């Protein structure tokens, strides 16, 4: 995909500009790959529209950076990605059912089989096609979400005829607390995963996969044959340290629509939750919770203008937020000026802390009304 296909200039009529640095995403991928041994492949999780940053440009940059195995959550995401990357290995984490098996097989998608019903549906599709279909098998090691239970693992190992027609590309599981290296559940899950691999060995899975972004930083025992980073690719801190090892990948800038000087002490915004004093200057930006700037950021978020921190005051509304720009020169707060809501001085993780959430939610909530600009994308 030529870079010009997904680049646009200017903020036009949008209320904010979201700049995505594709080279930074590619650099994060190469950095994560470098933590792995030569026998461990580094894949990439690009579900939820590549964590809200745009599936097509992001996946294209990751492919150019050397990624060949991609993970999505839904069949429709896999079909969309297949149009872009005809030669990629595309895995669907939420699995398959009787309604999606045919189109998944036709598109060469690889489902992650999470329960006996999914295994039956995929094996049935293989039988109908008189073909061998690839699959991954997920075992639950402590999340209690998707994946075969310990009893189901034992039952499957005792009934190998249930995987006839299937080529098990991998057995996988998912870590619950990998961002905290001292959490004892990490070791417990590793032990359960290794036990499941031994039980399932007669089914001859080709490889094993356990590490997500944070799992990569737990070290070689967690790496196995395939790592599946997601959040860290997009600049989210994979650990609990205040300093992230990953490059920041986005900048979100809100456009000032109007600035007013308060001449009489009065309240700002819905619910009158902030009181402005005489002489304060309040700027209104064209960003709100309809754009993913969460309502929980009311009276708690920070923004930056020319390196100066300015607080969000009053409630976040659907299309607007208000910030106190008293400390900023008036010429920097004229209508049309851009305010950094996410950037080098105020990261995705910083904004998430102010919202009482995690960087994942902030990224995936970013609205489609923003003007989007993509930088780079030609990493080799």
Tokens of 259: 């600035």
**Closest Cα to residue 74, out of 57, 99, 39, 53?**
99
Angle between helices 22-34 and 55-64 (to 10 degrees): 50
DSSP characters for 151-199? HHHHHHHT-GGGGTTEEEEEEE---SSTTSTT-HHHHHHHHHHHHHHHH
With helix as H, strand as E and coil as C, how does 70-99 read?
Answer: EEECCHHHHHHHHHHCCCCEEEECCCCCCC
Spatial contact of 344 and 28, defined as CB atoms under 8 Å apart:
no
Active site annotation includes 47: yes
The string over 279-302, giving b where at least 16 C-beta atoms fall within 10 Å of a residue's C-beta and e elsewhere, is ebbbbbbbbbbebbbbeebbbbbb
What is the spatial distance between Cα 376 and Cα 205, in angstroms, rounded to a whole number? 38
Active site annotation includes 374: no
Burial (CB count within 10 angstroms: exposed 0-12, middle 13-18, buried 19+), residue 162: middle
Choose, from 29, 47, 255, 289, the residue flagged as catalytic.
47
**Which residues are registered as beta bridge partners of 267?**
275
**Which residues are registered as beta bridge partners of 42?**
227
Tokens of 8: 């646009």
Residue 48 DSSP symbol: H
What is the spatial distance between Cα 75 and Cα 49, in angstroms, rounded to a whole number? 13
Choose, from 35, 251, 255, 270, the residue flagged as catalytic.
270
Which regions of the chain does DSSP assign to beta strands (E)?
Answer: 16-21, 41-42, 44-45, 69-72, 89-92, 110-113, 133-138, 166-172, 207-209, 226-227, 250-261, 266-268, 274-276, 281-285, 302-305, 308-313, 321-324, 338-342, 371-375
**Closest Cα to residue 69, out of 123, 25, 121, 33?**
33
Active site residues: 47, 270
């Amino acid at each position: 995909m030529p870079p010009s296909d997904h680049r646009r200039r200017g903020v036009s009529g949008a209320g904010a500009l979201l700049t995505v640095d594709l080279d930074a995403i590619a650099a994060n991928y190469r950095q994560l790959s470098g933590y792995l041994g030569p026998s461990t492949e580094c894949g990439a999780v690009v579900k939820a529209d590549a964590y809200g940053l745009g599936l097509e440009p992001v996946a294209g940059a990751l492919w150019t950076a050397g990624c060949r195995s991609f993970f999505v959550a839904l069949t429709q995401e896999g079909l969309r990605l297949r149009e872009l990357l005809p030669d990629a290995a595309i895995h669907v984490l939420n699995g398959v059912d009787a309604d999606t098996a045919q189109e998944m097989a036709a598109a060469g998608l690889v489902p992650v089989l999470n329960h006996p019903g999914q295994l039956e549906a995929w094996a049935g599709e293989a039988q109908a096609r008189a073909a061998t279909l690839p699959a991954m098998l997920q075992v639950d090691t402590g999340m209690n979400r998707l994946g075969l239970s310990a009893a189901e693992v034992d039952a499957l190992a005792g009934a190998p005829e249930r995987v006839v027609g299937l080529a098990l590309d991998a057995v996988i599981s998912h870590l619950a607390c990998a961002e905290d290296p001292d959490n004892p559940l990490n070791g417990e899950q590793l032990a359960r995963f290794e036990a499941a691999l031994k039980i399932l060995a007669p089914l001859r899975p080709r490889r094993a996969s356990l590490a997500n972004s944070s799992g990569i930083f737990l070290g070689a025992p967690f790496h196995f044959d395939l790592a599946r980073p997601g959040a860290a690719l997009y600049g989210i801190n994979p650990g609990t340290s205040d300093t992230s090892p990953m490059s920041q990948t986005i900048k979100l800038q809100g456009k000032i629509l109007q600035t007013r000087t308060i001449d009489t002490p009065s309240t700002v915004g819905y619910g009158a939750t902030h009181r402005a004093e005489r002489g304060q200057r309040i700027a209104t930006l064209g960003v709100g919770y309809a754009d993913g700037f969460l309502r929980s950021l009311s009276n708690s978020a920070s923004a930056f203008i020319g390196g100066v921190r300015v607080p969000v005051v009053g409630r976040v509304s659907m299309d607007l937020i208000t910030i106190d720009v008293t400390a900023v020169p008036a010429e920097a707060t004229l209508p049309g000026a851009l305010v950094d809501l996410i950037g080098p001085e105020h990261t995705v993780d910083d904004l998430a802390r102010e919202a009482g959430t995690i960087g994942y939610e902030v990224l995936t909530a970013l609205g489609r009304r923003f003007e989007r600009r993509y930088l780079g994308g030609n990493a080799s």
